[in-house]
Chain A
Amino acid sequence: MKLNANIPSGPLVEKWTRHKHEVRLVSPANKRKYDIIVVGTGLAGASAAASLAELGYNVKSFCVQDSPRRAHSVAAQGGINAAKNYRNDGDNVYRLFYDTLKGGDFRAREANVYRLAEVSVNVIDQAVAQGVPFAREYSGYLATRSFGGAQVSRTFYARGQTGQQLLLGAYQALSHQISLGTVKMFPRQEMLELIIVNGHAKGIVVRDLISGKISSVMADAVVLASGGYTNVFCLCTSGGASNVTAAWRAHRKGALFANPCFTQIHPTCIPVSGDYQSKLTLMSESLRNDGRVWVPKNAKDKRPPQDIPDGERDYYLERIYPTYGNLVPRDIASRAAKRVCDEGRGVGVTGLGVYLDFRDAIARFGEKVVKERYGNLFEMYREITAEDAYKTPMRIYPAIHYAMGGLWVDYNLMSNLPGLFVVGEANFADHGANRLGASALMQGLSDGYFILPYTIGDYLARNGVKRPSADAAEAKQAEQETAQRLNKLLSIHGKRTPVEFHKQLGKILWENCGMARQEAGLKTAIQQIAALRDEFWQNVIVPGSHQDLNMALERAGRVADFLELGELICLDALTRAESCGCHFRTEFQTPEGECLRNDADYAYVAAWEFGGVGKPSQLHKEPLVYEEAHMAQRSYK
């Protein structure tokens, strides 16, 4: 298979403008003849569905939650980047482009990243017009703050609830279209299969989670905005319903899965406290604007943090990375935390934690200002840990947070399956091997408001209205396969619950394919996951029926797909014999313990083709050819 990224010709800065001029258009009168399915209602899905409907297409929007407003984008805290240069501090589109490319350790597609930086400014305009209450200065103009991996202040925010506010903006735009009848909304419906007719994605099989009814929905194009897959680790910052099923079902039908091993570890999460724990909670990266990260210099120092004098504290990020200090990118901050904990200097009962201290910020600005900036985060920390971070430093530790990998897409955000578009975290294109803070919101909304509406029109114009009926043989077969799978899950009557399998899978992945990876561990993990998957299909227990609301069945189906994805993640990590961004292979590191990239052999996107369960996946490489940027050794010192 030859992968064509369809990157437009011409200089980097002109590519998107040229491309918009060259894409075919669907005339206003013809748009209403086309049906488009959008799966997922997070930032990417809701913005895409609303924007496509505004253009005149008929949109059918699906989500698994009871309301589109609950998609997990809602939980993003810190902010959204945009190259507005409101601070007059030297920001511009090129700098945001370069910071993002460098932050991703030069494993992202250059042309996509440039376009992302370019449209970032429109996203802020759009959000403000929708009524997103971004923080403002006393002058009445928009405020910004700093985030990791940047030396400019370009992050817009709405307290610690930026994701929620941006999602409400998109949800309200979607609601407006629903009221106009241009979007038909289907909440509590889960996509369980992709329908392919004559090689094109033409529909999906969905299960109504309340009635259990399985049906096919057909369209002229399918957009997946189903989010990331980090829940494969079981313990992560994702919501409980976040899953890979929609993307994985498409993968099984031929869509390539790119860079699955690029999973981000977020440095500032509340440490794990027990086996019963269902999720890990993030403390926004914005806290690193004013909080200082440290551990005791002496591993045996067990005094309470406030009793340890400055001379006996190791502010290790400020020491090792004086230029960026506490604002180094996430992968670097996470590994540094792991290193000091591995040295035995970790804090808290488990020893897996470091301090994030606001003592100096409170002394400098007063408690009132700190409260204004981060009040809700301190509140959340208190609820979870019963500790007061105004008086004693927070304890934090890295946790799995975001998937840079995802379904492979070309410049038009279309997968290798014609008619299947993938937007937001579900695709792979923009963040390389590590995503910078506040860039996920930027990408999701850019894809949905300003990129997909142009590129999907080109596909539709070229292919015309070709919507098969829901009685098509391909649809009936997909429905049948779905029902068989559900019946199989219900008929095993084994001894272990879906959650038990999920936890075990997560443990295997975290230990062997988490913050540090090495060849032997990855090989063992692949075997362990295959064995676990076999056991799952013989020993899982799922009570109830599929003709009713059955959350155990929902979980079982998602875990079954995670058990296949987990193996691919390890295979991808094993094949990529270099370290880059979040992918840290212990065999490949600099003397200082930083990532040692290998551009000669691995400057490519690894796009995997499904080969069957338990059978080898086939690797296709998209070489990363940079026309403008130079692949440099990353340095934040």
Chain B
Amino acid sequence: MKVTVRVWRQKNPQSLGGFVEYEVKDVSPATSFLEMLDVLNEQLIKQSKEPVHFDSDCREGICGMCSCMINGEAHGPENKVTTCQTYMRSFKDGDVITVEPFRAKAFPLVKDLVVDRSAFDRIIQAGGFISVTAGSAPEANTVPLSKYHSDLAMDAAACIGCGACVAACKNASANLFVAAKVAHLNLLPQGAPEKDPRVLAMVEAMTKEGFGACSVSGSCEAVCPKGIVTSFISRMNHDFLTAALKLRVHSARV
């Protein structure tokens, strides 16, 4: 099949960007979307032109490095897959495909389709961990944990930190990302001691990074490649409210 890709090209944050159209011929439907871009880049390099820069690493949908809005949708047209697991069989011969970077104030553009998602790392640094040091852990089976809670924590922990939820949200909110980590750790007995400070610190960090408020539209869940559900956001709001109230009561006592 033959497709035309309209790609956002921008040398750096300072320069002006714009769409450039390229034709890619002889694409097999079994080719992945990024492999199609690889083919395009090989053509460009051969012409001594700079290839289209995009992030990608594992190419099996787990590292969270690939991004892109494909025809306006984060990670493209298919449900619950990343861009690297989007295949050309999802498009038709002759299609014009528009490819843009993830757009959000908190994800500044680096080059072409590459954006800076380090805001996510800083949110995790604010509290997305259990502060146990190596060597101090008790025997693993000391604390049993119901299969239900363990499975639920795993559902939340499946987040790959790709940022599609932010890109799809009209407020560029990071609520789904933050809620997934808060739920993963707060659901576990091991995470309980730091439950309150964790949710307060992570929500504060999210706001500081410039992510917007929840749009309550559910668009994050719709594009999440790992099927993280918005009920985790409700859970986070519950944990946040509880923690904030406790903090007020505590401060009043002091």
Contacts and interface: CB of A to CB of B under 8 A. Distances in A.
Which residue, of A47, A165, A172, has the highest number of chain B Cβ atoms within 10 A? A172
Contact of A128 (B35, B133, B190): B190
B141 A86 contact: yes
A141 B141 contact: yes
Nearest to A499: B42
Contacts of A552: 41, 45, 50-51
B236 interface: no
B232 interface: no
B197 to A, nearest CB: 12
Contact of B136 (A47, A129, A380, A542): A129
Contact of B62 (A86, A139, A161): A161
Contacts of A70: 57-58, 63-65
Interface size class of A (residues with CB under 8 A): 35 or more
Interface in A59-101: 65-70, 72, 74-75, 84, 86
A70 B28 CA distance: 29
Interface string A233-245: 0000001110000
B160 interface: yes
B134 interface: yes
B191 interface: yes
B144 A139 contact: yes
Given A241-B57, A276-B35, A172 B62 contact: no
Interface in B23-71: 28, 30-32, 34-35, 38-39, 41-42, 44-46, 48-51, 53, 55-65
A457 interface: no
Interface in A130-179: 130-131, 133-142, 158-159, 161, 164-165, 168, 171-173, 175-176, 178-179
Interface stretch (B91-99, B149-157, B209-217, B245-253): B149-157
A21 to B, nearest CB: 16
Interface stretch (A248-256, A352-360, A543-551, A601-609): A543-551
A117 B241 CA distance: 45
Contacts of B55: 66
Contact of A122 (B81, B137, B145, B160): B137
A527 B38 CA distance: 29
Contact of B184 (A69, A131, A281, A379): A131
A172 B34 CA distance: 29
A277 interface: yes
Contact of A172 (B28, B39, B89, B128): B128
Interface string A595-630: 000000000000000000000000000000000000
Which residue, of B41, B57, B126, B133, has the highest number of chain A Cβ atoms within 10 A? B57
B60 A65 contact: no
B134 A54 contact: yes
B158 interface: yes
B57 A47 contact: no
Given A70-B57, A274-B28, 6 more contacts: A128-B137, A140-B147, A168-B157, A172-B124, A282-B60, A543-B48
- 7 nearest A-B residue pairs (beta carbon): A140-B144, A129-B137, A172-B129, A133-B154, A125-B137, A239-B57, A179-B125
21 contacts: A70-B57, A70-B58, A74-B63, A124-B140, A125-B138, A129-B140, A131-B184, A133-B153, A136-B147, A139-B144, A158-B154, A172-B128, A175-B124, A239-B59, A276-B35, A278-B35, A380-B85, A541-B48, A542-B45, A543-B45, A544-B50
